[in-house]
C-alpha cells in the first residue's frame, strides 16, 4: 500500500511546529537521509508515529506514516467512483447535527471512528451505501434527531415503511 510520511519538527527560528510531507525521510534540520528510530507507536488505526534521531546532526524529530486517502475509492449508487474524502462525511454529519446539542469535538471523534472502521474493511473500493450505514449507526448513538434527519435524506423511498417503523420505535424509547 502506498504510504506518505509526514515529518514533524520544531522550527525554532519561527517558534512553531512544522509539517513536512515527503516520500523520503530527511532530517528537517540538515536534510540528511539517514536516521535511527528511537521509538515507534501506532497512533490512530491508519498512522504510525516514529521518534527519530538524525545520524548526522543527532537532532530528534517525529514522523507520521499515513496511508494516503487516495488509496480508497467510493463507489456511488450510479457506479461512478470517487476518492474517499473524510470531509464529505463530516459535512453530512454537521448538517444533520445543526442546532443539536452535539459539539464539534463529538463530531470529529465520530468521523474518525467511521474512517477507522472503513479503513479496516478489506479492499480499496467501498460502496457508498456501506459508509451511509456506518454514519447512521454512529448518529443513532450520538443524537436521535440527527440520526432521523440523516436517515430520512439518505434512505431511499423504497424502504420508507421500514423507516417509519423504526421512527416509531425510536419515539417510544
Per-position x/- string for 8-27, each x denoting binding to Zn ion as judged by CB under 5 A, each - no binding? -------------------x
Binding track, positions 118-147, relative to Zn ion; x by CB under 5 A: ------------------------------
Mapped onto helix, strand or coil, the DSSP state of residue 70 is: helix
Indicate left, alpha or beta for 28 from its phi (over 0: left) and psi (-120 to 50: alpha).
alpha
Site for Zn ion in 42-101 (CB under 5 A): 54, 56-57
CB 54 within 8 A of CB 9: no
Of the candidates 17, 18, 19, 30, which one interacts with Zn ion according to CB under 5 A? 30
Of the pair 57, 153, the CB lying nearest Zn ion is at 57
DSSP structure string for 7-38 = EEEEETTTTEEEEEEESS---TTT--S-EEEE
**Judged by CB under 5 A, does residue 29 bind Zn ion?**
yes
The nearest distance, CB 8 to Zn ion, in angstroms, is 14
Which three three-digit cell numbers place residue 165? 417503523
Q: How far apart are the C-alpha atoms of 148 and 89, rounded to whole Å?
A: 16
Contacts with Zn ion: how many residues (CB under 5 A)? 7
Applying CB under 5 A, which residues contact Zn ion? 27, 29-30, 32, 54, 56-57
Amino acid at each position: 500500500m502506498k504510504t506518505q510520511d509526514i515529518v514533524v519538527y520544531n522550527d525554532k527560528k519561527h517558534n512553531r511546529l512544522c509539517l513536512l510531507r515527503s516520500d523520503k525521510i530527511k532530517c528537517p534540520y540538515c536534510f540528511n537521509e539517514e536516521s535511527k528510530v528511537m521509538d515507534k507507536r501506532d497512533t490512530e488505526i491508519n498512522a504510525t508515529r516514529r521518534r527519530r534521531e538524525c545520524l548526522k546532526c543527532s537532532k530528534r524529530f517525529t514522523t507520521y506514516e499515513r496511508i494516503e486517502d487516495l488509496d480508497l475509492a467510493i463507489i456511488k449508487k450510479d457506479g461512478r467512483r470517487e476518492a474517499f474524502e473524510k470531509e464529505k462525511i463530516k459535512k453530512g454529519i454537521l448538517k444533520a447535527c445543526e442546532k443539536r446539542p452535539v459539539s464539534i469535538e463529538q463530531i470529529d471523534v465520530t468521523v474518525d471512528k467511521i474512517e477507522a472502521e472503513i479503513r479496516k474493511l478489506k479492499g480499496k473500493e467501498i460502496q457508498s451505501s456501506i459508509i451511509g450505514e456506518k454514519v447512521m449507526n454512529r448518529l443513532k448513538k450520538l443524537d436521535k434527531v440527527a440520526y432521523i434527519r440523516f436517515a430520512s435524506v439518505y434512505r431511499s423511498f423504497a424502504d420508507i415503511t421500514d423507516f417509519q417503523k423504526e421512527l416509531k420505535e425510536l419515539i417510544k424509547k
